[in-house]
Each structure stands twice: as C-alpha cells, then as structure tokens.
A = this chain, B = another copy of it.
Amino acid sequence: MADEMLTIGELARRTGAAPSALRYYEEIGLLAPSARVSGQRRYGPEAESVVGTILFLADVGFTLGEVKQLMEARSVTPRTWRDLVRRKLAELDERIAEARAARVAVEHAIACPHDDIITCPNFQAAVRRRLDGQLVSDPRYCVCEVQEMRPA
C-alpha cells in the first residue's frame, strides 16, 4: 500500500551499509536515488539488491571503481565484463600464492628455536635472498630449514 520508497536510513538498515557509505556510492556514481522528497533521497525497492550487488562484488575483491565498470559494462559489453572478471581471478590467484608463501615463511619463523630470530643465520639468509631480488613467492624463500633449526 504505502509506496515502496526507502529513505537512506532504511536502505542502510536493510543492506548493512552505513548511510554515509550510500552517499559515497552516489558521489562516485555507483548508486542514484530514484527521487528526492524535500531534499531527502528516496530509493525504489530494487535499490536493495543494487547495494547488495555492490557489497558482494566488493567482498570478492573488486574495487568500487571496478564495480562501477562492471555495472556499466554489464550486458552492454559482456566481453568487457568477462575480461574484468578474468583479470580479477588472476589477481586473486596471485594474492593467494603470495599469502601462502608468506604463510610458509612465518610458520618457519615460529618454528625457529632462536630467541632472537633476527640473528638466526637462516633468517639472515632469507633476508639476503630478498635483497638479492628473490621473490617471496619463490619456494626456496623460507626462513628456517627444520633440519638446521637447532642452535649449535
């Protein structure tokens, strides 16, 4: 009965995004209210899923700029859309690989029996490799070899 128009506060409550965030989305061109009632924003019921889509895409690693491109591309240019998504997939793979490599290094550091790991020769060797330009994601990039771990 009542028309389905949402105030910014209600939309915020329904989506979990802060009103300031919704205003920010509008500012960067991601979300526009369907109307204004004496200066106040009113959103149609579809706005909820639009915001949901923004939040979802942001969650899976897209920046708001990319979300904007995605929304603009959409069905108009499925190619662009798929390209963006494919690139994000590659980016995620890289992120995972980096975090896993870092995880290995950190795990080794925990296992290191030296009180001051910074003076540990294995740690220093890892630092050396880093200075020599070896990527952290290199499998040899490990802080302490378990075999050599026990202090002499």
Give A residues with C-beta under 8 Å from B: 14-16, 48-49, 52-53, 55-56, 59-61, 71, 74-75, 78, 81-82, 85-86, 88-89, 92-93, 95-96, 99-103, 105-107, 109-110, 115-119, 123-124, 126-128, 130-131, 133, 136
Contacts and interface: CB of A to CB of B under 8 A. Distances in A.
B92 A127 contact: no
A101 to B, nearest CB: 8
Contact of A128 (B52, B78, B115, B136): B52
A11 to B, nearest CB: 11
Nearest to A54: B127
Contacts of A101: 60
A43 B48 CA distance: 58
Contacts of A59: 102, 130, 136
Contacts of A123: 53
Contact of A92 (B102, B124, B131): B102
Contact of A96 (B85, B100, B126, B130): B100
